[in-house]
Amino acid sequence: QKEVEQDPGPLSVPEGAIVSLNCTYSNSAFQYFMWYRQYSRKGPELLMYTYSSGNKEDGRFTAQVDKSSKYISLFIRDSQPSDSATYLCANRGGSNYKLTFGKGTLLTVNP
């Protein structure tokens, strides 16, 4: 079983839709959970970060972590065409500095 599983999509939604992106992970040592966003021809950039279970909100984005089921989600409200990108979940745990990335989900928001 891979450490981080992410549905690669692609996912296509109309503008204004609520988007749900999900990852599962297998390593109980993971403590930090992040979402990176990658636009075409660009490097990933950190979008959301959370340390514990529960929800974290930042504008139209909500990151949700359920450590009991090893499930992390990113919700995008009122999605915009500018949200079209690949979204990568990333987890980190233990004393090393390694991030484990999911494969990424390609999202297209159609105007």
Partner 1 sequence: EAQVTQNPRYLITVTGKKLTVTCSQNMNHEYMSWYRQDPGLGLRQIYYSMNVEVTDKGDVPEGYKVSRKEKRNFPLILESPSPNQTSLYFCASSSTAGWGSYNSPLHFGNGTRLTVT
Residue 103 binds partner 1 (CB under 8 A): yes
**How far is Cα 110 from Cα 83, in angstroms, rounded to an integer?**
10
Strands 105-110 and 11-14 come out as parallel
Min. distance of Cβ 56 from partner 1 in angstroms? 10
Q: Dihedrals φ, ψ of 76, to 5°?
A: -120, 120
Residue 59 binds partner 1 (CB under 8 A): no
Residue 1 binds partner 1 (CB under 8 A): no
Which one among 17, 32, 60, 84 touches partner 1, defined by CB under 8 A? 32
Q: Dihedrals φ, ψ of 82, to 5°?
A: -70, -10
Min. distance of Cβ 63 from partner 1 in angstroms? 11
Q: What is the DSSP code (8-state) at residue 89? A: E
Residue 34 binds partner 1 (CB under 8 A): yes
Residue 101 binds partner 1 (CB under 8 A): yes
Q: Which helix (H) or strand (E) holds 69?
A: none
**How far is Cα 91 from Cα 50, in angstroms, rounded to an integer?**
10
Which one among 14, 43, 59, 111 touches partner 1, defined by CB under 8 A? 43
Contact residues: partner 1, CB under 8 A: 6, 8, 32, 34, 36, 41-46, 49, 88, 92, 97-99, 101-104
